[in-house]
Amino acid sequence: MVSGGIAVLILLLCVGLIVYLTSKHKMNAFVVLIFTAFLFGIMVQMPLPDIVKTIRDGFGGTLGYIGIVIVAGTIIGTILERTGAALAMTQGILRVIGKERSPLAMSVAGYVVSIPVFCDSGYVILSPLNKALAKQSGKAMATMAIALATGLYATHCLVPPTPGPIAAAGILGADLGRVIGFGLLVSIPGMLAGYFWAVHFAKRYNIEIDGGESYEELMSKYGRLPGGIHSSLPILVPILLILFKSVASYPTNPLGEGTLRTVLQFIGDPVTALMAGILIAMTLIRKDQLKEALDGWMNEGVKNAALILAITGAGGAFGRMLKSSPLSDFLGANLSSLELGIFLPFIIASAIKTAQGSSTVSIITTASIMAPLMASLGLDPAYTVLAIGAGAMTVSHANDSFFWVVSQFSGMDTPMAYKTYTTATAILGVTTILAVALVSVIF
């Protein structure tokens, strides 16, 4: 094989190719990552039979660890979206926080809803409510838009079962319970930073709210919604089960080594926990929705998961290829002297995110690059996942689909979206990585 230095140059070429093909030509990320894995293997002069085996092992190994979890999480998100449970959770948050503090309420609602639901879908679902509250409360529409968008973005990039963080956890071998627990923690400062930016900066910009419906009209149109607590259970129960498993599996055995530990490890396994989440989500389905839900909604969830599964597996294949090359030893020896620590994955993820737009592609590509370096750099896998997530929200602009969802559904023109939303994502990402760095020192 080639030397480590040459392998680094080849890696840079391959990453540049990934960015170019996915951003400039909008080429499917699965095809790009698999193609690039082949290209990297050939260019570093890996034996040809080993190239195919490495790609197969990397693809299958990653999906074997995390594939079912991604599909189950996507199905839960689809059910919460279709039953109105996402809106019901938002109503509950509004009752607690109050309509007079509607920007904070929508930021918190986005934070919660985006754990199982893609941020793009979450914004579309909550946008009519966001506009109705802006009209009723007299808050600037730009403030409401940025508060909701940053709340959604905070957990979208950091907290499973959102597919990006799950995929990164699978590629890096991180404990999912620790990723969830610390992800919920470090995403709070990010969410609050986005909220304060919305309240103190975005309010300067005026957006004319089109006709729309009042809050009362909107609620009456949806009819009977599930209860707020009931709606939250498909998210809350799996998260708690996974966290309990992490506690039970801790090396000091805080819950002993008997039956309780065995049971918690079983029900808290991400596969078991997320399948339980599907069963709980199904209790939200009304009788008149049952036929459509069991056929259409389930199929929709699986279809939505398919692309993420393909990209995740391809990222695992690319990462396994990097790990099998001279790259890992060379980069580990040289990067450790720079002492960037947890900021290294953040820098890589933010560069890829800014260049090509997709947070999910940024997360998976960066995790693949970091996988072979973890041991030599001495990085904790869970904190690395979170650092990558922080980078994958820095920054969102015109090459990101969420940028257009936020701007179009809130009535912003493009220059205003750059001034309010793009700057907010930069603040969100920087605040989050500082929180990750602090948590990694304390814990």
For residue 292, pLDDT beyond 90: no
For residue 338, pLDDT beyond 80: no
Residue range(s) defining the domain that contains residue 255: 4-442
User: Residue 72: its pLDDT value, please?
Assistant: 92
How far apart (Å, rounded) are the C-alpha atoms in residues 96 and 105? 8
Domain total in the chain: 1
How far apart (Å, rounded) are the C-alpha atoms in residues 323 and 342? 19
For residue 289, pLDDT beyond 90: no
Confidence of residue 224 (pLDDT cuts 50, 70, 90): confident
Range in 149-153, 160-164, 333-337 with the lowest mean pLDDT: 333-337
Spatial neighbors of 68 by CB under 8 A, at least 6 apart, are 271, 274, 275
Compute the half-sphere exposure of residue 32: CA atoms within 13 Å on the CB side of its CA: 22
Residue type (1 letter), 64: G
Q: Considering the chain, what percentage of its residues have pLDDT values greater than 90?
A: 51
Confidence of residue 221 (pLDDT cuts 50, 70, 90): low
User: Residue 222: its pLDDT value, please?
Assistant: 65
For residue 238, pLDDT beyond 70: yes
The mean pLDDT value for 1-12 works out to 86
How far apart (Å, rounded) are the C-alpha atoms in residues 9 and 393? 26
Q: Calculate the average pLDDT of the chain.
A: 89
Model confidence pLDDT, tens digit, residues 43-79: 999 999 999 999 999 999 888 888 998 899 999 989 9
Cβ-based burial of 22 (10 A; exposed 0-12, middle 13-18, buried ≥19): buried
CA 102 → CA 77, 125, 140, 199, 385, distances in Å? 24, 16, 11, 11, 32
Model confidence pLDDT, tens digit, residues 94-133: 889 988 899 999 999 999 999 988 888 899 889 888 888 8
- The answer to whether residues 63 and 57 touch, using CB atoms and an 8 Å cutoff, is no
Residue 398: both structure tokens together: 């015109």
- The answer to whether residues 131 and 209 touch, using CB atoms and an 8 Å cutoff, is yes
The values of phi and psi at residue 25, to 5°, are -105, 0
- The answer to whether residues 175 and 97 touch, using CB atoms and an 8 Å cutoff, is no
**Selected residue with higher pLDDT from 250 and 388:** 388
Cβ-based burial of 291 (10 A; exposed 0-12, middle 13-18, buried ≥19): exposed
The mean pLDDT value for 296-316 works out to 90
How far apart (Å, rounded) are the C-alpha atoms in residues 9 and 4? 9
User: Residue 137: its pLDDT value, please?
Assistant: 81
